[in-house]
Amino acid sequence: MDSLHEQMRCWRRDFHRHPELAFEEKVTSGKVAELLESFDGIEVHRGLAGTGVVGVLRSGSSERSIALRADMDALPIHEENDFEHRSRNPGTMHACGHDGHTAMLLGAAKHLSRNRSFDGTVYFVFQPAEEKDGGARVMIEEGLFEQFPAEEVYGVHNFPGMEVGNFGLCVGPLMAAIDVFEFSVTSAGGHAAFPHGTVDPIPVAAEIVLALQTIVARNVDPLKNAVISVTRVHGGHADNVIPSRVVHGGCVRTFVPDLQKLIERRMRQIGRGICSAHGAGFELEYRPYYPATVNHADQTDKAANAAREVGRNVNADMAPVMGSEDFAFMLQERPGAFMFLGNGDSAGLHTPRYDFNDDVLPVGMRYWTTLVETQLSA
């Protein structure tokens, strides 16, 4: 096991050195496929969603099956770490731990291929583009579950601040849905010295940004969770010109579809109302992006039981988090569960100082193998 831990550490650090963005994971997926092919008896399929890889391992005669998923893509962040395995690709880094997720699942594939202590079929799903445009959705659209008909599907994500060896999950929504939006405020524009001769879209847009926060404060049931974040502001090109258009963008996080509909409706009402009052134009593009990650009850119990076999502590009643995950698409297609695994006292996800904790690798690998061996018991 120590030897396999060292192999996973080497794989993980190599992935970290060579991060690739969504749907560009050619080097990463190539290495994943080569490693899977080097393991005993794993059938390897490449090319689903462009760079996706699926390994198939069969043992015994049972028709039962299970899918385990890891994500492979990195983020457009310039790494600020100075250790030897830091990113070699400027402006791109593994700031969310997908390098570790991939290494853990490879370790599980190698262990299971050696031991075959299960009866059924395991699908090792290495997914591109979790961070952008939903690689899980694309894999599904291209026939993931038709080609690899798993009965259940499971995923794991590291969690900074949670002790290494601890797990967390819950039945129902574990992570929020994310919708993205962009709204524009338009007017004729004009000379900055003569604001009375035009409508200035900048203060109008600022008024909308502030008013949007009243949706959560005054329209959403206080016992339900929602977040509206305006994260992009664009407008103007010169100090002496009132622009004719200001564009703002951001995201909405919710757990239930009714809230998504409510928030979109109120955003349109507020934007149109404020712009009408000022004599400006308003347009809103609102797009559902990832659904909520909703764990199924039976599979959550199974995942928690497997985690208890290898973890120090399992919080099976963890409070949901407002982050989002495209594993949600897989949970809409098959019963399954998503799990958090402690990354220890590390920097936060999506920050330039983050690094996956290599001590987590054997814990995650043992969770995967235990889950397979209990779900597909021989």
Indicate if 130 and 37 belong to the same structural domain. yes
CATH number at residue 140: 3.40.630.10
Last residue of a domain, one of 290, 315, 345: 290
166 CB contacts (<8 Å, ≥6 apart)? 311, 312, 313, 314, 315, 341, 342
Same domain, 102 and 160: yes
Tokens of 164: 């290494």
Question: Are 132 and 267 within one domain?
Answer: no
pLDDT of residue 93: 98
Full pLDDT tens readout for the chain, 378 residues: 579 999 999 999 999 999 999 999 999 999 999 999 999 999 999 999 999 999 999 999 999 999 999 999 999 999 999 999 999 999 999 999 999 999 999 999 999 999 999 999 999 999 999 999 999 999 999 999 999 999 999 999 999 999 999 999 999 999 999 999 999 999 999 999 999 999 999 999 999 999 999 999 999 999 999 999 999 999 999 999 999 999 999 999 999 999 999 999 999 999 999 999 999 999 999 999 999 999 999 999 999 999 999 988 999 999 999 999 999 999 999 999 999 999 999 999 999 999 999 999 999 999 999 999 999 997
286 with 169, same domain: the answer is no
Of 290, 314, 337, the last residue of a domain is 290
The neighbouring-strand residues paired with 106 are: none
The predicted pLDDT at position 2 comes to 75
What is the C-alpha radius of gyration for the chain, rounded to an integer number of angstroms? 23
| Cβ atoms of residues 262 and 220 within 8 Å | yes
Residues 333 and 296 in one domain: yes
Q: Are 158 and 209 in a shared domain?
A: no
Residue 267: how many other CB atoms lie within 10 Å: 21
Q: Check residue 311 and give its pLDDT.
A: 81
Q: Residue 8: name the closest of 97, 77, 89, 99 by CA.
A: 99
Domain boundary among 290, 309, 333: 290
Contact 11, 106 (CB under 8 A): yes
Helix (H, G, I), strand (E, B) or coil at 80: coil
Q: How far is CA 42 from CA 61, 110, 126, 136, in A?
A: 16, 9, 14, 22
CATH number of the domain within which 235 lies: 3.30.70.360
User: pTM for the whole thing?
Assistant: 0.94
Q: What is the pLDDT of residue 73?
A: 98
User: pLDDT value at position 288?
Assistant: 95
Q: How many domains does the chain have?
A: 2
Q: What is the pLDDT of residue 312?
A: 85
Query: Quick check: 74 and 21 in contact, CB under 8 A?
Result: yes
User: 275 to each of 195, 244, 279, how far by Cα in Å?
Assistant: 16, 13, 6
Q: Which parts of the chain are beta strand (E)?
A: 43-48, 52-59, 65-71, 120-127, 153-159, 166-168, 172-175, 177-186, 190-191, 226-235, 241-242, 245-254, 281-290, 293-295, 313-315, 336-342
State which residues form the domain around 206.
177-290
